[in-house]
Amino acid sequence: MRCRLLLLAHEGWRISPSRNKLNVSRPTSLAFRAAFTKVGIAAVTGIRRRKRQAKVLTPDVEQNILETNLRTRPGDSSTHWSVCMLAKQLGISRAMIHRVWRRHDVQPHRVERFKISGDPRFEEKVRDVVVSHSSGKTTWVRSGSTPHHGQLLYAHKF
């Protein structure tokens, strides 16, 4: 396709007829012509050069990824870093973050945490559960102090 575009351009074909004949989009046709003008025959052979140098994963970069992930929290209200947020924060690719996490088996979304309830009656409800456990019989435990309040939690036989 690239060679044919060049041959048609050499024969004097304009962009629109040549791209229509080869079923190529206008941006692709323009980009190819610009690449040929800039780099010459390398544009035809498919040899592409990176626009910028790829970052190499050094031990320092890897350590920075792990320390940022494990010792800090995102600036927003998130509980843990996502690949995208951490990549944006550190200015490196998502693939690099993902490789480091996989290599070190880091899974921030799977960290187990326990959060104490903000319920003002939480202490009373916990006391109900503990008393029911220590009684030594089959017990239906409720989360509230009266039978019609609260929810049935479980049955347990001691």
pLDDT of 87 = 93
Does the pTM surpass 0.75? The reply is: no
Burial of 18 (0-12, 13-18, 19+ CB in 10 A): buried
Which residues in the chain show pLDDT less than 50?
138-139, 141, 149-150, 152, 154-158
pLDDT of 83 = 93
pLDDT of 140 = 52
Burial of 92 (0-12, 13-18, 19+ CB in 10 A): middle
Task: Render pLDDT for 110-130 as a digit per residue (tens, 0 to 9).
Answer: 766 656 677 788 778 777 766
pLDDT of 35 = 83
pLDDT of 50 = 63
pLDDT of 63 = 92
Outline where 23-149 has alpha helix (H): 26-39, 42-45, 59-71, 83-90, 94-103, 122-134
pLDDT of 10 = 79
